[in-house]
Amino acid sequence: MSPQSATLDPAAALDNSIGAMLIGVIVSAVLHGITLLQAFMYWRNYRKDAWYLKAMVITTVCFDAIHLVLISAAVYHYVITHYHNSDDLRFLTWPVLIEALFTGVNGGIVQAFYTMRVWHLNRRSYWLPGIILLFIFSTAGCGTAWVIISMQFQTYEQLLSISPLTITINALSTFVDVTIAVSLVYLLNQARTGFKKSDTIINKLIVFVVNTGVLTTCCAIAALICLVASPNSLLYASFYFCIGRLYTNSFLATLNARTSFQSNFDDSHMMMSMPSSVVSPHATQHLGTKGRNITIRVDTATSKNDQSQDHKESIVAAEMRDGNSDFDVDEEGPRQKGHMF
């Protein structure tokens, strides 16, 4: 045991304990403000979304707010209620333990959402999503066990006895995030057609997938490193307090990006109907069952100097019916541009 343990030695500096928690609370508050903004944009633009998507949004935003209240209450307990009582820093307070439950639930919801996208893109094959779900449930089970066990402890010294479980939870969550990101990038990359415009669309989708998950993954890795490198401190709290909000913002950003993708594709000389598996696992309700089909049509016209009778308009049609991502290439005559969805 380190003689200068931030959570065990009352004489140790507060930077690695309460200071780390305070930084996590401040950053979390900023991220929660972004969450509320994204939630407002979602309710304004996607009122016709499926009920379960709306339920997921409400749940994640509410749990995000509850988590912020809990971690704020924990910091208030140490720096205000027990001000100048350095010995109290050795004892746990229940909000520090309960907050992990809300972080875990939010993380599981968002990871399950992305797993559904993997399922659609993978031609509704169950083996890859099934493996991912297995790890998600394993993470949830370990997290629930951690909360139940830790609620019986009174000091941080006792909490150190379940450090292996804490590290396991963070490692599993990080593994799931990386697996989902790699799976989506691989499946999108497999959808390339060899045509410049359609491949450009896929490149944009790949970049979007990576961007929505990179912050969450990096934050989870940073928390894991802090847990392993400095188990007697609360340095990991600076990152762990923010993970739940990053999950929520990633989820909302994915839902809100649908309008942005649609406008970008409509402005170009192409028609594209994105699959619900790429941008959202469910199209808006007015689409019906046919709204799940994806059609990517890229119009490639020749220049004005090449107007022979043999001129054809090359069209790349990628049809996904009921989640089937078989890509076919057709050549037909000129078609009038359509509109996304």
Q: Stretch 251-275: mean pLDDT, rounded?
A: 63
Range of weakest confidence among 133-147, 178-192, 263-277, 285-299: 285-299
* Domains of the chain: total: 2
- 297 inside domain: yes
Q: Choose between 331 and 81: higher pLDDT.
A: 81
| H helix intervals, the chain | 18-45, 51-76, 94-121, 127-150, 156-159, 163-190, 196-229, 237-267, 276-279
What is the rounded CA–CA span in Å between residue 96 and residue 302? 64
As a whole number, the mean pLDDT across the chain is: 77
> The domain that contains 23 carries what CATH number?
1.20.1070
Per-residue confidence (pLDDT) for residue 145, from 0 to 100: 95
Q: Say what the pLDDT of residue 144 is.
A: 93
Same domain, 196 and 120: yes
Do residues 120 and 169 share a domain?
Answer: yes
Is 250 part of a structural domain of the chain? yes
Whether 214 and 325 map to the same domain: the answer is no
For residues 130 and 333, the model is more confident at 130
**Average pLDDT for 3-32:** 78
User: Domain of 112?
Assistant: 18-261
- The pLDDT > 90 percentage for the chain reads 41
Q: CB–CB of 289/310 below 8 Å?
A: no
**For residue 190, pLDDT beyond 90:** no
pLDDT tens digit string along 131-143? 999 999 999 999 9
Domain final residue pick, 261, 279, 305: 261
Residue 3 pLDDT class (50, 70, 90 cuts): very low
Contact 272, 241 (CB under 8 A): no
pLDDT at 257: 84
Same domain, 293 and 256: no
Q: Which residue has the higher pLDDT, 288 or 54?
A: 54
Instruction: Return phi, psi of residue 298, to 5°.
Output: -110, 115
* Same-domain pairing of 236 and 290: no
> Is the same domain home to 230 and 322?
no
Q: From CA 96, how far away is CA 78, in angstroms rounded?
A: 11
Question: Which amino acid is residue 230, in one-letter code?
Answer: S
- Indicate whether 337 pLDDT > 90: no
- 185 and 287 belong to one structural domain: no
pLDDT score, position 302: 41
Question: Which has more confidence, 65 or 88?
Answer: 65
212 Cβ neighbours under 8 A, 6+ residues apart: 250, 253, 254
Q: Nearest to residue 116, comparing CAs of 73, 108, 60?
A: 108
What SS3 class is residue 89?
helix
What mean pLDDT do residues 247-253 have?
A: 93
pTM: 0.75
Structure confidence by residue, pLDDT tens digits, 59-72: 999 999 999 999 99
When mean pLDDT is compared over 1-5, 198-202, 244-248, the highest value belongs to 244-248
